[in-house]
Structure 1
């Protein structure tokens, strides 16, 4: 599903989506196709679901967006933190 379709189906809602077809361009993640996992009134509920789902299935590419936004933008940032020592 395209973002414009998601906006039409779920107006002014928070949506948890899974990216199905993506590519990167100039440090931006372009989501060509997505699937709506769930919809929410409250962004806190969306984040709680995201955390639970990401913990159980970390390989899925999940995002939370507000459908009141005409466009979505995902900026890729390299990980610069410190990893635990073994």
Structure 2
């Protein structure tokens, strides 16, 4: 589905979704097709499920976003640094 459809189905909700079709342009991720995994009233619950699912499968492109937003704007970030083990 597209973002507009998700907004109409999940009014005033936090949604956890997977990008089915997406590309990068001008430092942003443009999501053309998405699949809603779950909807929440509480953003903390959405982020908790995101972390659990991401830990199990890092290859999935998932996001948490609120449907109050007219447009789906996902800024790309370059992660730099050293990961500490243990």
Shorter-chain TM-score bucket reads over 0.9
Tell me how far 1:84 sits from its aligned partner.
Answer: 5.0
Stretches (4+) displaced over 3 A: none
Q: Residue 6 of structure 1 aligns to a residue in which SS?
A: helix
Report the equivalent of 1:45.
45
TM-score, length basis structure 1: 0.93
TM-score, length basis structure 2: 0.93
User: What is the count of residue pairs matched by the alignment?
Assistant: 85
Whole-angstrom distance in 2 between the partners of 1:43 and 1:79: 23
Any unmatched runs of 5+ in structure 2?
none
Q: CA RMSD in A?
A: 1.3
